[in-house]
Structure 1
Amino acid sequence: MKTTTQNLVPQGSGADHTAAEIIQQPGVWHEVGAIVAGERDSLDAFLGPLIADKDLRIVLTGAGTSAFAGEVVRAAVARATGRRTDAVSTTDIVADAYASFPEDVPTLLVSFARSGDSPESVAATRLAEQVLTRVNHLVITCNSAGQLARLHSENTSSHVLLMPAAANDQGFAMTSSFTSMLLASLLALGALTTGAIDGAAAAAEHITAGGLDRHIEALLAREPERVVYLGSSSTLKGLAQESALKLLELTGGALVASSESSLGFRHGPKSVLNDRTAVVVYVSNDPYTRRYDLDILAELRAGLPEGSVVAITASPNGVPGDDTWLLPGLADADDTVLALPAVVCAQLIALRSSLGQGIRPDNPFPSGEVNRVVQGVTVHPLPQRRDDVA
């Protein structure tokens, strides 16, 4: 059965945009593939000479969800390009540009931005140009009218890669914008081919069509007061960070959500656990890394009430129990591909938790204390040297 907003959320629940933007993702991913393929020649002409420079540093940047996109793709981009690749948020760049760019080396700044209108988005690119002698920009954005797109569209040292119009989410939380920009960066930088989209899209369609509904319902029926997301390596740890943020945003902070790496969780963050805590473990497809995910999974299942610890995985090997959520057809996929349908699970958990709290997901902060596009940021002039700060 094809999923529609009508059979995903109740009419009048204030979730139309968010639900539609979650459901549409598989189709939007195919559009992203077509866009990147159509711009392949111009992307290669722009990126080829940059990546050929062995001294190039690639910096993946954004704020909030957009920053987590950089975390998810960092390792895959580094492998594909053979160049030093770091994920540095725009908020860190704006707060301390000199620390964010400690070496004056040729730099490709890859900016992720849904609207491109948040103060830090534009400021980060300008600060990079102020601090570095040579910087080029790959701007991946969902809004052609945003400040970031307009600033860089006529810049010969920049390439603006626009996402499909549908990816410019109108709901409060970033859903299809996150996965679209993540996918676009992997395709543009040669870390993925368009052939990988089919498997990710099929798995996501299985989820949105109700393939995991009973699992999600069972988890939320426990009425957790805290939810923890865990994942190993920068890829799945970044996914865990985004998953926790979605739940926090869409429930208006009514549910406490946190994230950590599978190994890092034991070093203090495990203190969050109680009998009302639910834990979601993203299990890596990498055979070695997977062992650590399975270790923490077994440990948590032994110590927490039955049904409160779930695994999201593409392979059932070593992951027994009804609390295992399978992503079909992706047992051999890279973790970056796995992240695309896996985050759909987290988006649905957040959406249904929001509705269960009586919150309207399209606008969980009606009084405006948190905004769809960040407000209230003053970007202060950067001194020429660190000791020039008054």
Structure 2
Amino acid sequence: MSETRSVTTERAEGEGARFTISEISHQPAVWRQAAANIAAGRRQLDDFLEPLLARPDLRVVLTGAGTSAFVGGVAAPELSRLLSRRIEAIATTDLVSNPREFLAEDIPTLLVSFARSGNSPESVAATRLADECLSDVSHLIVTCDPAGQLNQEHQGREHSYVLLMPAGANDQGFAMTSSFTSMLLSVLLVLGGGDAQTVQPLIAAAEGVVDGGWDAIGDLATLDCNRVVYLGSGPLTALARESALKLLELTAGQVVSYYDSALGFRHGPKSVLDDRTLVVVFISSDEYTRKYDLDILAELRTALDPGRVVAIGPDGVVADGDRTVAFEGLDSLNNAFLASVYVVVAQILALSFALRVGTTPDNPFPDGNVNRVVKGVRLHPLGAGGRGRA
């Protein structure tokens, strides 16, 4: 284990980061347990999913709020490719406020709901609205808290299957870390196929980051940057969004973050760059897509101090540069799987910035202005027009 991480861990209690550090660090162990749990329950999962996925007219929607929504954003493009069918990622915050638009087609639907606690107002509301608006809907609930309302409402219910994450995935810190990666890997294994062997290279890579890369990543927070940009293509655009959110949350907004796609960044958003910007580019495992990632990487290393431009990708495909995080043995994995390891780097970076600016990462908002489980949402009845089961 790196010396810097040991020192950071020793300071964690006093700096209000004990949970966050632990939950970033134990992700490999949680992934191993999640894969084992899925293997043990595979027959029941298949009994629930196979008849649904055999229907050519089935619509599959991945949903959640905030970080949970980004699970779907990362997974949907890869699952669409793997299953050769349309799979959509729609946030619960959109479904709940605009159900007649997003649930306009009354066709057979599988709603896959992601939630750390399952107690966010939109989590249960989205499943209820789907029942109200659709005459044929099934629910796959992927959640981390057995005491959560979403689990309690769907456990044992007809047309629902609840997939609980290992206990270690139920993060106690403010920001979702192990909950995000565990739910992401689980839905990829459940819907896309795979087993414990599939995640083993990811576990090894994440262990390498946690035990040997923490100090180098943390050093990036000492570069006197007050804004950070994350870029990624395809599924990695949603990962860039999640990474930007982690930084914004843990620093309580003291470090401004932004995200975009590799191609989209040039169309105006590049204006955010200045001499105090750090840019992180997630490199795609797809040979064609990667060309665009490497193009923007080279361009940024010309426009900025190369030491402020970081490339994260599989070993052997990342262009040489002053700042590179390269992972061995992952070049054959798709981007959604890679995202689970890439985001560990972003989590450590966000934590490092938080400690630099002096927030308490386990609770960056002690005044309660922003809450771990969202509060203050008023849910309104849909009224006439529902078509769901009686």
TM-score normalised per structure 1 = 0.95
The 3 A distance-change label for structure 1 pair 275 and 5 is closer
Name the amino acid aligned to 2:68: S
Counterpart of 2:171 in structure 1 is 169
Name the amino acid aligned to 1:60: L
Deviation (angstroms), 1:268: 1.2
Counterpart of 1:32 in structure 2 is 34
Counterpart of 1:213 in structure 2 is 215
Cα distance in structure 1, aligned partners of 2:214 and 2:313? 12
1:49-64 alignment to 2 at 5 Å?
Answer: 49-64=51-66
Deviation (angstroms), 1:13: 1.1
Deviation (angstroms), 1:6: 4.8
Name the amino acid aligned to 1:304: L
Q: Give yes or no for contact 2:16–2:360 (8 Å, CA) kept in 1.
A: yes
Cα distance in structure 2, aligned partners of 1:255 and 1:164? 32
Q: Give yes or no for contact 2:119–2:148 (8 Å, CA) kept in 1.
A: yes
1:339-354 alignment to 2 at 5 Å?
Answer: 339-354=339-354
Name the amino acid aligned to 1:110: V
Counterpart of 1:280 in structure 2 is 280
Cα RMSD after superposing both structures? 1.6
1:185 pairs with 178, 184, 187, which one? 187
Q: Give yes or no for contact 2:133–2:385 (8 Å, CA) kept in 1.
A: no
Name the amino acid aligned to 2:280: V
Counterpart of 2:230 in structure 1 is 229
1:277-335 Cα distance to aligned partner (Å, 9 max, x none): 11000000100000000010011110012301110011333501131111222122111
Name the amino acid aligned to 1:268: G
Question: SS where residue 189 of structure 1 aligns?
Answer: helix
Cα distance in structure 2, aligned partners of 1:3 and 1:23? 15
Cα distance in structure 2, aligned partners of 1:118 and 1:317? 40
The 3 A distance-change label for structure 1 pair 27 and 103 is same
The share of aligned pairs that are identical, in percent, is 55
Counterpart of 1:252 in structure 2 is 252
| Segment drifting more, 369-378 vs 315-324 | 315-324
The 3 A distance-change label for structure 1 pair 4 and 217 is closer
Name the amino acid aligned to 1:221: T
Counterpart of 1:140 in structure 2 is 142
Cα distance in structure 2, aligned partners of 1:30 and 1:159? 21
Name the amino acid aligned to 1:223: D
Q: Which structure 1 residue ranges, 5 or more long, are not aligned?
A: none
Name the amino acid aligned to 2:247: L
Deviation (angstroms), 1:5: 7.2
1:54-107 Cα distance to aligned partner (Å, 9 max, x none): 000100000000000001110222233333200000000001011111211100
Cα distance in structure 2, aligned partners of 1:190 and 1:261? 24
Counterpart of 1:103 in structure 2 is 105
1:41 pairs with 21, 40, 43, which one? 43
Name the amino acid aligned to 2:168: A
Q: Give yes or no for contact 1:279–1:310 (8 Å, CA) kept in 2.
A: yes
Matched, 1:316 2:316: yes
Question: SS where residue 8 of structure 1 aligns?
Answer: helix
Q: Give yes or no for contact 1:3–1:209 (8 Å, CA) kept in 2.
A: no
Cα distance in structure 1, aligned partners of 2:328 and 2:233? 20
Cα distance in structure 2, aligned partners of 1:76 and 1:289? 13
Counterpart of 1:94 in structure 2 is 96
1:2-21 alignment to 2 at 5 Å?
Answer: 6-9=6-9, 10-11=11-12, 12-21=14-23
Cα distance in structure 1, aligned partners of 2:101 and 2:193? 28
Name the amino acid aligned to 1:154: G
Cα distance in structure 2, aligned partners of 1:146 and 1:70? 20
Cα distance in structure 2, aligned partners of 1:274 and 1:86? 35
Question: SS where residue 306 of structure 2 aligns?
Answer: coil
The 3 A distance-change label for structure 1 pair 7 and 196 is farther
Name the amino acid aligned to 2:141: V
Q: Give yes or no for contact 1:284–1:313 (8 Å, CA) kept in 2.
A: yes
1:329-352 Cα distance to aligned partner (Å, 9 max, x none): 212211112111110000000001
Q: Give yes or no for contact 2:318–2:324 (8 Å, CA) kept in 1.
A: no
Q: Give yes or no for contact 2:2–2:213 (8 Å, CA) kept in 1.
A: no
Cα distance in structure 1, aligned partners of 2:264 and 2:254? 25
Name the amino acid aligned to 1:99: E
Structure 1 outlier segments of 4+, above 4 Å: 2-6
Counterpart of 2:159 in structure 1 is 157
Counterpart of 2:334 in structure 1 is 334
Aligned length: 384
Cα distance in structure 2, aligned partners of 1:207 and 1:91? 33
Deviation (angstroms), 1:2: 8.0
Counterpart of 1:66 in structure 2 is 68
1:139-190 Cα distance to aligned partner (Å, 9 max, x none): 0000011000000002110000000111100000000000000111111113
Cα distance in structure 2, aligned partners of 1:367 and 1:177? 24
Q: Give yes or no for contact 2:140–2:162 (8 Å, CA) kept in 1.
A: yes
Q: Which structure 2 residue ranges, 5 or more long, are not aligned?
A: none
